Amino acid sequence: MSKNYTLKADKRDRAGKGVARALRRENKTPAVIYGDKKDPVNIILGSNDINVEYNKGRMFTTLCDLNVAGDKNLVLARDIQLHPVSDVVQHVDFLRVTSKTKIAVEVPVKFINENLSPGLEEKGVLNVVRYNVELMCTATAIPEEIEVNLEGKEQGDSINVSDATLPEGTKPVIDDRDFTIATLVAPRKIEEELVVTEEGEEVAVEGEELPEGEEVAEESKKE
């Protein structure tokens, strides 16, 4: 579990598009805190602070100690609105959480023991289907990543969620099947290309190895 990050904020009395635009012109970002059976609180964040945290790529899986004018809140970002061109954070929805809060989050997948996979040793290709897996877990125990074991995997094998090591107290949101995270596919030779030399002769050139499913390169055409 990642260490919490911290932010400071001020309360704002007014809401609306006009107020939000005025705040952004002052290099401030509107946000809201909701949940835990309490009234929502409209807040103001420093634009630089919130964009720094967003660009670290962890806000949806890491808790925030949010200090609002001296009032401490444990929150998790649940929705972030970005500018359509600049990708600057425009608004954030924070959810209040406690040690009892159960929440669904997408957690990155990390593949381990690649050197113990016969399929990869024989130049197989790992075709990743899911780079993240949605887990149900306690808000205060969100894992940074889940490890998926490739030991013993052969070409043609599917790597499923059952191959992942899930932290205690977590389970996949999809719990009615052993869904696929990746497949291990075999390489194959592309067809020989016919290359025309300056003398007009057609010479066969051996192709490269490609994973199954990739299109074969077109033959060279005569000018």
Per residue in 62-95, pLDDT (tens digit) is: 999 999 989 999 999 999 999 999 999 999 999 9
| Predicted local confidence at residue 27, as pLDDT | 92
- Whether the pLDDT of residue 1 is over 90: the answer is no
Rounded CA-CA distance 159/175 in Å is 16
Residue 195: pLDDT band with limits 50, 70, 90: low
What percentage of residues in the chain have a pLDDT greater than 70? 83
91 and 128 inside one domain: no
92 and 13 inside one domain: yes
- Whether the pLDDT of residue 194 is over 70: the answer is no
Residue 208: pLDDT band with limits 50, 70, 90: low
pTM of the model: 0.74
109 and 31 inside one domain: no
- Whether the pLDDT of residue 186 is over 80: the answer is yes
125 and 77 inside one domain: no
Kindly report the number of other CB atoms within 10 A of residue 88's CB atom: 13
| Predicted local confidence at residue 215, as pLDDT | 45
**72 touches 65 (CB < 8 A):** yes
86 and 140 inside one domain: no
Range of the domain at 212: 189-223
- Whether the pLDDT of residue 134 is over 60: the answer is yes
Structure tokens at 44: 């103001």
**61 touches 134 (CB < 8 A):** no
**108 touches 134 (CB < 8 A):** no
154 and 180 inside one domain: yes
- Whether the pLDDT of residue 190 is over 50: the answer is no
204 and 174 inside one domain: no
**pLDDT tens readout for residues 9-44:** 999 887 777 778 888 889 999 999 999 889 999 999
DSSP annotation of 86: T
| Predicted local confidence at residue 222, as pLDDT | 42
**73 touches 33 (CB < 8 A):** yes
Residue 42: CA count within 13 A, CB half-sphere: 9
For the chain, how many structural domains are there in total?
A: 3
**6 touches 67 (CB < 8 A):** yes
